[in-house]
């Protein structure tokens, strides 16, 4: 049975205790890139949509930005407060679609790291526009699995187990994007009429996961979190069996992200 959007969006709450450690860090170049493009300086006010446990928040807070985060999950928000203790960060547990900035409050940048696609597309650009100061920017990106010719064959090989439990991906499906082929969202940004796209850049990086690290990573993905228990048990058991046969007991996963930066139209 397929899960609906809200179920998937809310499922990350169940991974709050492992999210910070299991999810990959974003490349330093990605942060440097949008800071350069938006001409942000230390002390600038940033609004983050869906901070989770603070994966993208922490490096920006360390650079001296003042950040307000809107996080839907109470457990995720609590974890973020712990991870960001002592930083100039305010974490609000709430729904971005319903959140309202205080009167006279405005931000230099609204950003979202692997969260923008979970926000209602009917309202997300309008809400970001309302929160920004004149000339302010919107930046967002998602971390996705991408594939290379030299990549680890494990992900194709394990598909027989996904098919067996009814969770396999079609061979021709766009869930197998190559480096540089992730979908850009420039059309929908421009279609909003509220923003002008000023910068788009693709990033990719690789991480090696030992067996249990990889299992933890999967436990932070909505589809795996909401998978029926017997399916998850069978899948994880087979993953452990196959990876433990390898000399290094690990898997190489290639990540990709498309950074979108857009300027508020005034």
CATH assignment of the domain containing 107: 3.40.50.150
Query: Helix H segments across 111-203?
Result: 124-131, 154-157, 159-164, 186-191
Give the end-to-end CA distance of the chain in Å, rounded to a whole number: 45
How is residue 204 written in tokens?
Answer: 């990719």
Burial class (CB in 10 A: 0-12, 13-18, 19+), 247: exposed
pTM above 0.85, yes or no: yes
Helix (H) or strand (E) holding 38: helix 28-38
Quick check: is 39 in a domain?
A: yes
Burial class (CB in 10 A: 0-12, 13-18, 19+), 84: buried
pLDDT digits (tens, 9 = 90+) for 1-16: 345 778 877 889 889 9
Q: What average pLDDT does range 187-211 have in this prediction? A: 98
% of residues, the chain, pLDDT over 90: 88
Quick check: is 21 in a domain?
A: yes
Quick check: is 247 in a domain?
A: no
pLDDT at 102: 82
Quick check: is 94 in a domain?
A: yes
pLDDT digits (tens, 9 = 90+) for 147-184: 999 999 999 999 999 999 998 766 665 578 999 999 99
Distance CA 219, CA 216 (A): 5
Quick check: is 213 in a domain?
A: no
Strands (E), the chain: 45-49, 66-71, 89-93, 107-113, 132-141, 144-145, 195-210, 250-264
How is residue 146 written in tokens?
Answer: 């991408």
Quick check: is 229 in a domain?
A: no
How is residue 145 written in tokens?
Answer: 């699995």
Domain span holding position 190 = 5-149+177-208+254-264
Q: How many domains does the chain have?
A: 1
pLDDT at 1: 39
pLDDT digits (tens, 9 = 90+) for 124-153: 999 999 999 999 999 999 999 999 999 999
């Amino acid at each position: 049975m397929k899960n609906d959007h809200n179920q998937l969006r809310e499922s990350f709450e169940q991974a709050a205790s492992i999210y910070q450690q299991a999810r990959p860090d974003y490349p330093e170049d990605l942060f440097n890139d949008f800071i350069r493009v938006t001409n942000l300086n230390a002390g600038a006010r940033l609004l983050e949509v869906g901070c989770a446990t603070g994966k993208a928040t922490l490096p920006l807070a360390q650079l001296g930005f003042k950040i307000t985060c809107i996080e839907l999950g109470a457990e995720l928000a609590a974890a973020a407060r712990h991870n960001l203790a002592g930083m100039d960060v305010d974490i609000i547990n709430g729904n971005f679609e319903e959140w309202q900035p205080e009167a006279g409050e405005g931000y230099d940048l609204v950003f979202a790291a692997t969260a923008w696609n979970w926000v209602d597309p009917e309202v997300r650009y309008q809400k970001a526009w309302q929160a920004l100061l004149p000339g302010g920017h919107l930046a967002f990106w998602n971390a996705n699995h991408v594939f290379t010719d030299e990549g680890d064959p494990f992900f194709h090989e394990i598909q027989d187990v996904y098919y067996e439990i009814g969770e396999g991906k079609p061979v021709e499906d766009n869930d197998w994007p190559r480096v540089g082929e992730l979908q850009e969202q420039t059309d929908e940004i421009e279609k909003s009429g509220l923003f002008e796209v000023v910068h788009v850049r693709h990033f990719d990086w690789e991480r090696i996961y030992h067996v249990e690290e990889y299992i933890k990573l999967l436990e932070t993905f909505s589809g795996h979190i909401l998978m029926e228990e017997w399916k998850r048990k069978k899948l994880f058991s087979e993953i452990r069996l196959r990876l433990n046969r390898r000399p290094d007991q690990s898997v190489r996963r290639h990540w990709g992200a498309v950074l979108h930066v857009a300027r508020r139209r005034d």
